[in-house]
């Protein structure tokens, strides 16, 4: 059986092939092509399209394509339900769903950055999901510090120190202004954020930057702040351009239109289509005057 999706996979488009080959069809073949070619190639190659708008195997409401495959094929392995939450959180930027979601996103984004060939990327990604499955099956409730009394003691001392330390009010550091400029520049271009590179550019320790970020950025963590700017840029594009909502979704860094619509509504309380209709009405009223 052949399966086809858009090129440059990161989360769902690697997790789904792993799920299919491991639990549904060991002989499955996966094809990556440009977004605009997926549906035509699917017909020509008799392949099943997935993780695309308006196909069966895709996102539904707040669920990922990975979730849909589990439901569709009635897979009941408990470890997969654990992995599903992690994949969903990583793929939709909802890292609150599972504490491992942010790590999966970081690893997946790093692999995609390092490996430019999609099929080599899939091969490497399969190893990652094999490891994740073993963890979810055998090690889910085991903590790293469990087998290291020395590290556990250091951890407890460090946590106690943090609780007792008094944080004094300080003047806003100079790096905050520089970081805002860096983020805005990326928002305006390609939505790729390499915290290690940003930390090096600012000459700041990455751990310190991550810990201090919310103090100076609207009390939001890095992911939530970037998501806020994405939505603001999307609103500007909706109101001032003729791009379709699907095009705007990809232009503002979302995995697909359903993901974009869901996050947009969570952030603004309205669907993108509401803003589009409001904008069109405003333009119509202006022309009528």
The alpha carbon of 155 is separated from its chain's Cα centroid by a whole number of angstroms, namely 29
Same domain, 116 and 210: no
Residues 104 and 75 grouped into a single domain: yes
User: Which of 17-49 are b and which e, b meaning 16 or more Cβ less than 10 Å from the residue's Cβ?
Assistant: bbbbbbeeeeeeebbbbeeeebbebbeeeebbb
Cα dihedral 250, 253, 257, 258 in deg (nearest 10): 160
pLDDT tens figures, 24-79: 999 999 999 999 999 999 999 999 999 999 999 999 988 999 999 999 999 999 99
Predicted confidence at residue 285, as pLDDT, reads 56
Residue with the bigger pLDDT between 105 and 176: it is 105
Residues 129 and 15 in one domain: yes
pLDDT exceeds cutoff 60 at 286: no
Tell me, yes or no, whether 109 and 235 share the same domain: no
**Are 27 and 62 within one domain?**
yes
Residue 173's CB is within 10 A of a number of other CB atoms, namely 14
Question: How far, CA to CA in Å, does 49 sit from each of 55, 56, 73, 116, 286?
Answer: 7, 8, 16, 22, 43
Is 71 contained in some domain? yes
Give, as one character, the DSSP assignment of residue 37: G
The CATH number assigned to the domain holding 264 equals 1.10.10.60
235 in a structural domain: yes
Q: Residue 31 pairs with which residues in a beta bridge?
A: 4
Q: Which one of 139, 154, 183 terminates a domain?
A: 139
**Mean pLDDT, residues 105-119 taken together:** 94
| Cα distances (angstroms) measured from residue 144 to each of 137, 147, 183 | 16, 7, 33
Instruction: Give the pLDDT score at 189.
Output: 47
Is the model more confident about 166 or about 100?
Answer: 100
Domain span holding position 263: 224-288
147 lies in a domain? no
Do 87 and 195 share a domain, yes or no? no
**28 and 132: one domain?**
yes
Please tell me whether residues 182 and 133 are part of one structural domain.
no
- 6 lies in some domain: yes
The confidence score (pLDDT) of residue 167 equals 47
List, in order, residues 6 or more apart from 252 with CB less than 8 Å away: 191, 230, 231, 233, 234, 237, 260
Q: Is residue 26 part of a domain?
A: yes
pLDDT of residue 24: 96
Q: Which one of 194, 217, 240 terminates a domain?
A: 217
Task: Tell me what the mean pLDDT of segment 189-211 comes to.
Answer: 69
Question: Is 167 part of a structural domain of the chain?
Answer: no
Q: What is the separation of C-alpha 223 from the centre of its chain, rounded to a whole number of angstroms?
A: 9
Residues 128 and 38 occupy one common structural domain: yes
Q: What is the pLDDT of residues 225-236, one digit of tens each?
A: 878 888 888 898
Confidence label for 3 from pLDDT (cuts 50, 70 and 90): very high
Instruction: Answer yes or no: is 206 within a domain.
Output: yes
Residue 19 lies inside a defined structural domain of this protein? yes
Same domain, 19 and 113: yes
Claim to verify: residue 206 and residue 241 sit in the same structural domain: no
Residues 209 and 230 in one domain: no
Tell me the pLDDT of the chain averaged across its residues: 83
**Structural domain count, the chain:** 3
State yes or no: pLDDT of 133 exceeds 90: yes
* Alpha-carbon gap, residue 80 to 16, rounded angstroms: 12
């Amino acid at each position: 059986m052949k399966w086809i999706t858009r090129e440059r996979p990161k989360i769902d488009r690697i997790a789904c092939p792993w799920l299919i080959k491991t639990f549904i069809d060991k002989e499955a073949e996966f094809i990556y092509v440009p977004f605009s070619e997926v549906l035509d190639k699917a017909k020509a190659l008799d392949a099943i399209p997935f993780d695309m708008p308006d196909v069966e195997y895709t996102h539904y409401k707040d669920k990922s394509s990975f979730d849909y495959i589990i439901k569709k094929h009635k897979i009941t392995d408990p470890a997969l339900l654990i992995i599903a939450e992690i994949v969903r959180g990583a793929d939709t930027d909802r890292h609150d769903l599972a504490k491992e979601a942010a790590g999966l996103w970081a690893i997946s984004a790093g692999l995609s950055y390092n490996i430019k060939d999609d099929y080599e990327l899939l091969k490497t990604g399969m190893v990652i999901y094999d490891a994740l499955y073993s963890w979810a099956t055998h090690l889910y409730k085991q903590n790293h510090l469990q087998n290291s009394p020395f590290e556990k003691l250091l951890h407890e001392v460090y946590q106690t120190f943090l609780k007792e330390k008094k944080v004094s009010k300080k003047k806003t550091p100079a790096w905050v202004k520089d970081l805002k400029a860096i983020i805005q520049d990326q928002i305006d271009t390609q939505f790729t954020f390499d915290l290690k590179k940003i930390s090096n550019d600012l000459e700041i320790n990455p751990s310190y930057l991550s810990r201090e970020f919310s103090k100076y950025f609207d009390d939001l963590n890095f992911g939530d702040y970037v998501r806020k700017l994405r939505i603001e840029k999307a609103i500007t594009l909706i109101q001032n351009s003729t791009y379709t909502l699907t095009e705007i979704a990809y232009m503002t860094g979302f995995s697909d239109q359903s993901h974009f619509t869901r996050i947009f509504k969570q952030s603004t309380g309205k669907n993108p289509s509401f803003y589009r209709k409001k904008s069109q009405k405003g333009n119509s009223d202006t022309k009528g005057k």
